[in-house]
Structure 1
Amino acid sequence: MNFDIKTPQKELIEQLQHKIDFKTKPIGSLGMLEQLAVKIGCIQNTLSPELNKPVIMVFAGDHGIALDGVSPYPQEVTWQMVANFMAGGAAINVFGRQNGIDIQIVDAGVNYDFDKDWNVIDAKIAHGTQSYLNGPAMNKEQFTKALAKGAELVQKAHKNGTNIIGFGEMGIANTSSAAVLLHLLAKVDLKECVGRGTGWDDEGLKRKYEILKSAVENYKGDDSVEDIFTHFGGFEIVMIAGAMLKAAELKMTIMVDGFIITSALLAASKMNANILEYCIFTHKSNENGHKHMLEHLQANAILDLGMRLGEGTGAAVAYPIIESAVNFLNQMASFEDAGVSNSDQIVSE
């Protein structure tokens, strides 16, 4: 699939900065909030941006590699957590309710058949990927279908009026896919990429590394992002990449969560680098490889709270800060409005 992602209007940067600098505050005193305001204004091509109908889509999928021992949790935890999402009991549900974010749960490829009464969005490609220890996780047709399905879901959200969107994930063993994607796409040493995931001890971490090392050594594909992503990706990660690419094409602001979500973005950015112009990095995950992803993408995260839960929770927690950036730009008085002298006036007098 090709995505026509235009670079945001940079001509507005000077005007937005002028508007910010003449607010009733010392220049630069709102720090990263000022940078966020400029970025969102450029994305929306306006001096008065708005955040409409925020959505976080949580994509769930199972991974064949989980059966090879890379996770301390059994595969069925994936569908059980989806049940928890639908019951409103997970962290992402709590933060979504708190901050007025619509949480949508997507079955990208869970090894379970959900009852239609659950209202899980059915985008299932298959009942989980194959193990990539000795072969590809998915075939080319499944890869293309997953990309397209993610794009389709974002198109629908955009049509419903959403202009800011985040993504979450659930899938036992998906930190393994993210680690290998980081290793191969950003050329980071595999040991630096592999982390504790859902909670490995030192022995488990070593075993996880050895399994993934074998998987990489057994890879017979080329260095193209499509081949690497098809071989080592998960249905939910590929679907998120397609969703992100479509969101950027539609000029939506993208809230980037932690390790897994950033692995999807890393792959998507190798397909179309312009996507990064639409991304806000909401937090730095405590999963070891995430810092390397952020460095590779030259990204600064809003928050560093030691979180590593996934689900889109970093994006949900950071959303009020993003909202603050837009609100101060639109609602804070200027020196002229407030009748307050600023340094320029003092100097000129």
Structure 2
Amino acid sequence: MSLDWLSAPCAQPDLAILGEAADRQEQLTKPPGSLGMLEALAVDLASLQRTPRPAVDRVWISVFAADHGVAAEGVSAFPQVVTGEMVRNFATGGAAISVLARTLGANLEVVNLGTVNDPGEIPGVRREIIAPSTANFCVEAAMTVQQLDSALAVGAESVRAAKAADTQLFIGGEMGIANTTSAAALASAILNEPPSCLAGAGTGLDSSGVSHKVTVIERALARHADARGALEQLRCLGGFEIAALVGAFVAAAQTGIPVLVDGFITTTAALVAVHIQPDVHRWLLFAHRSKEHGHARLLRALEADPVLDLGLRLGEASGAATAVPLLRLACALHNGMATFAQAGVSTA
């Protein structure tokens, strides 16, 4: 699959419906703006879904899992075998995102792009194995061009499946030991900021562990200082699951499916996607402000105003799934409240 598809134009929100939805919010039986972000979410969803009555009843969650070669540098508090073990946990219903998806009635797709501890064929897991892990990006580029191509395509395929299911909202999640290191390195390169501004505790590193992580990222950035452009930086510093998220976000914008972005890893993928295709930004809603150090910086870079701030930092799409009920309530209020005229309530 050629990477040319990444430059195909994104769908455009319906500006007429945007205006119609905004006008409706002004007519509902409440002071204008009194429902805050719930109003803005409903108006945005109406425009993106191209309907005056938006809904998020049909939610698709794709969790992409993959291992990272940089784990060899000792940047995680957990062993690398956990990635493959968590793939099984996702599929058998024991992970946080499994419980959340079940509670929401959302479709949960688990995609294995390559783990060191390969759990093999598991019912409910889509196997898209590229390699057991990326390369150690302190030594060489994380991915070959072909591996990057394949990972991006895996994400786009998830969006095609979501579209076929008439999905109203797409959520991407991730799992991969050492992927906060990869995401911090990638964000540092794109934003041209020191790793100390973006690298955090990840799975639970102490202060000395975070300092070591920063040093590892500094080595990687020096190694790949000649990488130019977000796509090449993704190839050199990213992970299979991060690339799959990038591919999914671009494809969702091209297809016209709103995306609810999760935490630090997925926001890094969103940053890459927006640098590849600026119009992707219009299709992104942001679920929460992660406790992971560096996430606030990414949100500022994307001019994003997240729905929740609960101190979450699990990943797996758990923060995004947690925000779905608020989006559903925003739509219910928008669609179900009476206007002043309908209720016979005076406006002055």
**Are residue 140 (structure 1) and residue 145 (structure 2) matched?**
yes
Structure 2, unpaired ranges of 5+: none
**Unpaired runs of 5+ in structure 1?**
344-349
- Taking the TM superposition and a 5 Å limit, the aligned residue runs for 1:303-342 are 303-342=308-347
**C-alpha distance in structure 2 between counterparts of 1:66 and 1:114, whole Å:** 19
Find the aligned partners of 2:159 and 2:199 in 1 and give their Cα distance: 30
Query: Paired residue for 2:252?
Result: 247
Q: What's the offset of the Cα at 1:167? A: 0.9
Tell me the equivalent position of 1:273. Answer: 278
Deviation at 1:103, TM superposition (A): 1.6
Within a 5 Å distance, the mapping from 1:39-118 to structure 2 comes to 39-118=44-123
Taking only the aligned residue pairs, the percentage that are identical comes to 38
Of 199, 202, 212, the match for 1:207:
212
Which one-letter code corresponds to 2:315 in the other structure? G
Distance in 1 (alpha carbons) for counterparts of 2:220 and 2:154 = 27
Using the alignment, how far apart are the partners of 1:112 and 1:120 within structure 2? 15
The answer for the alignment partner of 2:227 in structure 1 is: 222
- Give 1:22 deviation, angstroms: 0.6
- Please state whether the residue corresponding to 1:118 is helix, strand or coil: coil
Residues 221, 227 of structure 1: 8 Å contact kept? no
Moved more, 137-146 or 81-90: 81-90
Separation in structure 1 between the aligned mates of residue 295 and residue 145 of structure 2, nearest angstrom: 27
Amino acid across the alignment from 2:233: I
d(CA) in 1 for partners of 2:55, 2:14 = 16
Give every structure 1 segment of 4 or more consecutive aligned residues whose post-TM-superposition deviation is greater than 4 Å.
Answer: none
SS at match of 2:304: coil
Separation in 2, partners of 1:64, 1:27: 52
Question: Counterparts of 1:205 and 1:18 in 2: how far apart (Å)?
Answer: 49
Say which SS state the counterpart of residue 305 (structure 2) adopts.
coil
Other-structure match for 1:347: none
TM-score, normalising length from structure 2?
0.96
Correspondence for 2:164 among 150, 159, 166: 159
Residue among 238, 244, 247 paired with 2:243: 238
The AA in structure 1 aligned to 2:15 is: K
1-side partners of 2:170 and 2:81: how far apart?
28
CA distance in 2, matches of 1:322, 1:110: 34
Cα distance between partner residues in 2 of 1:216 and 1:25: 52
> Does the aligned pair in 2 maintain the 1:195–1:288 contact within 8 Å?
yes
Q: Take 2:342 and 2:181, find their aligned partners in 1: how far apart are those partners? A: 54
The alpha carbon displacement at 1:220 in A equals: 4.8
Q: How many residues align?
A: 343
Moved more, 300-309 or 13-22: 13-22
Query: Aligned equivalents of 1:14 and 1:119: distance in 2?
Result: 42
Q: 1:265 to 1:77 in 2, by over 3 A?
A: same
- How far off its partner does 1:222 sit? 2.7
The DSSP-based 3-state class of the residue aligned with 2:329 is: helix
Secondary structure, counterpart of 2:65 in structure 1:
strand
Asked if 1:193 corresponds to 2:198, the answer is yes
Q: Deviations over 1:125-145 (max 9, x none)?
A: 111101000210110011011
SS in 2 for 1:166: strand
**Aligned residue identity for 2:310:** L
What is the RMSD of the two structures over their aligned residues, measured on CA atoms? 1.3
Q: TM-score, with normalisation over the residues of structure 1?
A: 0.95
- Residue identity in the other structure for 1:107: N
Deviation at 1:119, TM superposition (A): 2.6
Which residue of structure 2 aligns with residue 286 of structure 1? 291
SS at match of 1:333: coil
1:257/1:314 contact within 8 Å kept: yes
- Change in 2 beyond 3 A, CA 1:14/1:160: closer
What amino acid does structure 2 have at the position aligned with 1:163? Q
Is contact 1:282-1:314 (8 Å) kept?
Answer: yes
